[in-house]
Amino acid sequence: MRTPTVESFLADVKDHGLSINLDQGVFRDITLKRPNSSTFYYNITTRPGHLMISGDMGTFVFKRLEDMFNFFRDESDSYQINTGYWEEKLEAGCKRGGVKEFSSDVAKDILLELLDEHLKGIDSGDYDRDKRDEREAIEEIESLISLAESDEYDFIAEIRNWDNDSNNVEINDWWEWDFTEYGYHYIWCLYAIVHAIKLYDSAKEPSHG
């Protein structure tokens, strides 16, 4: 799964303008969107203790400080986000693209580590047998990786029903493996919150009237 970066996010919103719809203390409603387009548009709404982001990339609600702009504000020139800590303050997530999602890349890393451990353990003293075991183990893991990349549910079913007696690579305690990573929409929305606050602060500076 491709993870959004600061650069890709800023490219998505490079033509967005800021509209301040409501601005009464910690009661705020602002919109960021490009003219005549709803692509990548989003709203930020705050009330005491809560911030909600909604729009084209999903909806997430956070709860922490009286003024949530103070919680998310990044005063540096970079876009610093804290995926784990901010997740702890999440009250509601998006049904379309959740906080964490299945990742074939994570599954691949786990399976390659399992393969590496298996290959290190091959030493029967029989060269032909060892090479055959090595080849078949690689084929098994490559097949699982291919399945993970094509269908999450078939992959999980295959792992769940794995037969250690008929395969070279043993899979034990698979339920303890975490095949997820932070989702694209979640990370994008975190960047969007930081970005919106930067634009809001800039608009509120004395030089802007």
Q: Where are the domains of the chain?
A: 6-101+183-208, 104-178
Global confidence as pTM:
0.81
Q: In what order do the strands lie in the sheet with 60-63?
A: 17-24, 27-33, 42-47, 50-55, 60-63, 90-92
Tell me: the pLDDT tens digits for 157-178?
999 999 988 888 999 888 899 9
Residue 55 has phi, psi (to 5 degrees) of: 145, -150
CB atoms within 10 A of CB 148: 24
pLDDT per residue as tens digits for the range 80-115: 999 999 999 998 877 666 788 899 999 999 999 999
Write down the pLDDT at residue 2. 72
Mean pLDDT of 187-202: 95
